[in-house]
A and B are shown apart, each in its own frame.
Chain A
Amino acid sequence: MSEQAMFKAFYERNIDLVYAVAMSYLHNAADAEDAAADVFAQVLEQNISFENQQHERAWLVTAVKNRCKNRLTHWSNKRRDVEIPEHPTPDNAVVELRETMSAIGRLPDKYRLPLVLCAIQGYSVSETANILKINESTVTTRINRARTKLSHLLEGGVQT
């Protein structure tokens, strides 16, 4: 398998994960695309090698997380609203979606990532624990707390 083909396979394997993490921080498709592209480009440029898929995912999640935080600290990104692309759905559904995205964005990092990986991306508790380098019990606790906080935020009304 050529290097390009290997990279393509690596990209296909991980793009969903990287994009989801980027989206959970940036709430904006264009910014999330940029952040994801930056991280993959870094792997390509620096020819970073990984021990296994677990290491690969852990590295990517941390790298994209820090990249997103870097972007968010930039003044131009600080007051950006949640962007929801156009959908053929009724208006109230769009509003609801916007609220949910905003509420997820308001969760602290340590609750947001387990929720996104486990509840949204479909990774198992064990996989999430490996990616985030935390115990499985911690993942479960954080997901539960994330859900509780999310409920409070959604019921209390989230300003978008």
Chain B
Amino acid sequence: MNHTPNNENRLHNVKREFQPTQAQKSRIYEQILAKAAQTAAADVSDYDAHAKASAKKEYSTIVRLENETKPTIRQNITNAMPAAACVAVILLGVLVFRIKPPQTQQPVHEDSSLTTTDTFRETLQTTTETVTTTTVTSDSSDETTAETDITTTTFPEFTDAADVTDDADTTEEFLPTEVTQTTTTVTSSTSTSGTSATVHTTQKVAATLPRSECDLYIPDAAAKAGEEIVMEVRAVHDFSFEDIKLEARLVSADGECFQPVTAELNPVYDCAFYFLRNAEQHSVTARLIAAEDSFVPQDDVWFTLTVAIPENAKAGDAFSIEIPSASSGSDKAFAQKIYAGSITVTD
């Protein structure tokens, strides 16, 4: 090792560069107070803006649904007309057939030598799942022998509900967290870049919702069909030496699932952050693990979630991001209050 005196002197000389002057200290302190005051004011105004945006979105959704529903009902009635006519004709035919005089039926002669065996079955199905079959044999003479054969069929018993629950627990990877979906749109800044067919839109969350309002914040967004959106997601938690697991999936209004393309943690953190894909459930699970001799701060953690809007989506369609599971440490749910935004498809 060659720690020359010259280098030590250099190190000594550089000390003052790392020391703030008194003027700098005062300036920083003023800056802190100004920032704090600004954020306090922004929290109030953002909260108001969010409430207004929610109300506006709800109203527009109602209007859209009304407009969409009216022609649909009319169309349904028009479509149903031929089918209704056919049903009426069939019913009429059945009625005419039933009303016919009974002369076509073969009369039963008491003195006939013929022996008629009428077998009829009566099936009784009760809550105990028992089927009873009765066979009656009648002779042509007055002597009637009635033979009743009662067969009881026992259906397999249902599995105990508790067993089912236990099985379900073992197959679940994470503790389920209450899924919260909202259809509220917050006005968000959208920047578009690139000249290729795929336009990347990054939604910067900033402080659109006060930090105290949610543990996990996924912003609202607007996108075109086929577009890929990279969203910054904020998770508020004490992440020191803990790992988080987060599952997210994109769901259309009619419940169809789409797999988010990728998700990655802000690369500045000294952590391994990887995602487990679950093709069956169309979900992506994010997992954050603190790397050796480093830890993430007791602070907000930001990561990005990339979702692709399906090509066949139409303007006005809405997609939501579901968080089926979000847990931390020993599988305890870290996100009790989740804001999972919606994505509105635009022209």
B contacts with A, residue count (CB < 8 A): 37
B4 contact set on A, CB distance < 8 A: 151
B29 contact set on A, CB distance < 8 A: 8, 11
Tell me if B14 counts as interface (CB < 8 A to partner A): yes
Q: Are B268 and A38 in contact (CB under 8 A)?
A: no
Q: Are A20 and B19 in contact (CB under 8 A)?
A: yes
Q: Mark out the residues of chain B between 1 and 50 whose CB falls within 8 Å of any chain A CB in the assembled complex.
A: 1-4, 7, 10-11, 13-15, 17-20, 24-25, 27-29, 31-32, 35-36, 39-40
Q: Are B295 and A59 in contact (CB under 8 A)?
A: no
- Tell me which of A8, A42, A59 has the highest count of chain B C-beta atoms within 10 A of its own C-beta: A42
A-B contact count (CB 8 A): 116
On whether A101 and B17 interact (CB within 8 A), knowing A37-B32, A70-B268, the answer reads: yes
- How far does the Cβ of B37 sit from chain A's closest Cβ, in whole Å? 10
Tell me if A1 counts as interface (CB < 8 A to partner B): no
- Decide if the interface of chain A is mainly helix, strand, loop or mixed: helix
A contacts with B, residue count (CB < 8 A): 54
Q: Are B267 and A16 in contact (CB under 8 A)?
A: no
Q: Are A44 and B10 in contact (CB under 8 A)?
A: no
Q: Are A120 and B39 in contact (CB under 8 A)?
A: no
Query: What are the 7 closest A-B residue pairs judged by CB atoms, nearest first?
Result: A69-B268, A41-B35, A37-B31, A20-B18, A62-B297, A19-B20, A100-B10
Task: Name A's B-contacting residues (CB within 8 A).
Answer: 8, 11-12, 15-16, 19-20, 23-24, 29, 33-34, 36-38, 40-42, 44-46, 48, 59, 62-63, 66, 69-70, 72-73, 84, 93, 96-97, 99-101, 104, 109-110, 116, 119-121, 133-134, 138, 144, 147-148, 150-151, 154-155
A-B contact pairs, 26 of them (CB 8 A): A23-B17, A33-B28, A36-B20, A37-B31, A40-B32, A48-B298, A59-B297, A62-B297, A63-B297, A63-B299, A66-B296, A66-B297, A96-B10, A97-B10, A100-B11, A100-B14, A101-B17, A133-B295, A147-B3, A147-B7, A151-B1, A151-B2, A151-B4, A154-B7, A154-B10, A155-B2
